[in-house]
Amino acid sequence: MKPLFVDTRPLDGRARTELCLTSDILMENAAAALEESVMRFFGASCCCSESVRVMIVCGSGDNGADGLVLARRLKGKAIGSALIEPCVLQFLPPKSEGCKLQFDRAKKIGVKFIADIAEAASGAAVIVDCLFGSGFHGTLDGKTQKLIESLNSLSGYKIACDVPSALDCAIKGSGVPFAADETVTMGAGKIQLYLDGAKDYTGKIYTASLGISDAVFEGAFKPDAFLLEKANLKLPSRKKLNVHKGSFGHAAVVCGTKPGAAIIAASAAMHFGAGLVTLVNASAASSFSLPYELMLSDKVPETATALAIGMGLGREQQNFAPYLELLKDGEMPAVIDADLFYCKSLPQILEARSKKCAQGNKGAATILTPHPKEFAELLKNCDLADVSAADIQKDRLGYAKMFCEAYKNIVLVLKGATPIISVFSEDSAFEAFFNPHGSPVLAKGGSGDVLSGLSAALLAQGLSAKDAAIQASLAHALASARAEQKVSSYAFTPSELIEEISLLEKEF
């Protein structure tokens, strides 16, 4: 897992004041990382010209200064027989001391400055965005918005320095940011880059060292969240030989008015290691052709070790009634999804389960898996906030923290382009984990039911709610990435996702 921060400026400040790394050193290292990306692009592409242009768009602050250092470093370099021609579009006049100094240095060695965007962009193979840094949170004026739109329309390979300019505008729905093919972020990972609204603008993300190791640079600060990596995936283990089906838990999945959702969840649970899986409220599924391995029952089996409920259940209160006491008792780990977020009794259930978790009752382990619209309903139901799904998307981590602070030990999986798994643990510490590995194939009905089934399977096998949520989310995302290589993104089905989950062991 990699640490993520809401704001890395305090880390930069400490590097300068406590670790004696001057702004000059930090800028040189930032520009070296940008230079590496430029050279990597040219190394991977065929270059037959006598010269290749790199257009660098600079602002007035230290982000612009990084771009000016890049231009200086590229001046006179070659790719094979082709000379690199860096040219700077200084869109805003230098204001910071660093930007003024780097502007003078670039001028003195003959870096070309071009004021007209069309002239600067002419033939540019690479466009580097050094307009604004991560600190920009305002509203773009018309001139700047027009510039960014013009840059986005260019055909060259686009690299963003630190954060694509005006990315915050995309997250808040108030403008169009620079659309990068690659973002080189400086020093440490930034949460801003991994929010849903950023997904279409960051491209591939690289974190650049500023001259000291990650451990030293980040060491004095507590991360605001963590980025999950592929290596964090731990698939269900069956290494012991003296076992039977009961050794791997019994997942019960409740059917409702739309049984297909529960059947998908139950199939996912069966494919993710649960020894037994039962569809509860069997009469609701009687008209379906069911997988033979699924058991049927009209009630939750006494041997069940985890419950999945809500998917396709129906929003009428009578659909919830048979299961409310079981959920409130907190004697069985549960995955709660979909329609159950509309249950008026849910706040009392969550409060009861939260208290039992605090008392060490493992049976009260709880995972919630809402998408943003369902999460908005959950927040309203719990009297925490009356907001829309669009409001949530503007501050996903903030609303997740609000909920988790109110219901400690309840694990929230806020679904989206980058799911966030979060929880307030027993020691009152907030933890959040970002999962960036999913693919657009998941944007289809039934994909969320698969996630619920995976989570229930791991709870049934004895994992904690936090670990089950993290591993289920990772498996869900990584299986989707595998599937994207085999099936067209628009034709993909939840059944194919389940099939890919069963094949993850071959890769991981």
Please name the helix (run of DSSP H) or strand (run of DSSP E) that holds residue 346, with its range, or none.
helix 346-358
**What is the structure's pLDDT at 239?**
85
Alpha carbons 187 and 9: distance in angstroms, whole number: 10
pLDDT in tens, 427-445: 779 999 999 999 999 999 9
228 has a pLDDT exceeding 80: yes
pLDDT in tens, 28-50: 999 999 999 999 998 866 555 67
158 has a pLDDT exceeding 80: yes
Domains and CATH numbers, the chain: 2-223 (3.40.50.10260), 231-507 (3.40.1190.20)
Alpha carbons 417 and 200: distance in angstroms, whole number: 10
**What is the structure's pLDDT at 172?**
85
Alpha carbons 251 and 277: distance in angstroms, whole number: 5
- pTM, two decimal places: 0.94
Distance of CA 191 to the CA centre of its chain: 9
Q: At what angle do helices 396-406 and 372-381 cross, to 10 degrees?
A: 40
**What is the structure's pLDDT at 393?**
94
Beta carbons of 314 and 299 less than 8 angstroms apart: no
Alpha carbons 417 and 48: distance in angstroms, whole number: 39
Alpha carbons 20 and 23: distance in angstroms, whole number: 9
Alpha carbons 230 and 203: distance in angstroms, whole number: 18
Within 10 A of 336 (CB to CB), how many other CB atoms are there?
27
What's the chain's average pLDDT? 93
**What is the structure's pLDDT at 417?**
95
Backbone angles phi, psi at 409, to 5 degrees: 75, -5
**What is the structure's pLDDT at 289?**
81
159 has a pLDDT exceeding 70: yes
The amino acid occupying position 499 is: E
Report the helix count and the strand count for the chain, using DSSP H and E: 18, 20
**What is the structure's pLDDT at 412?**
98
Q: Is 35 exposed, middle or buried (0-12, 13-18, 19+ CB in 10 A)?
A: buried
> What's the token pair of residue 178?
């620079």
In the numeric block, the tokens 């007209």 are attached to 116
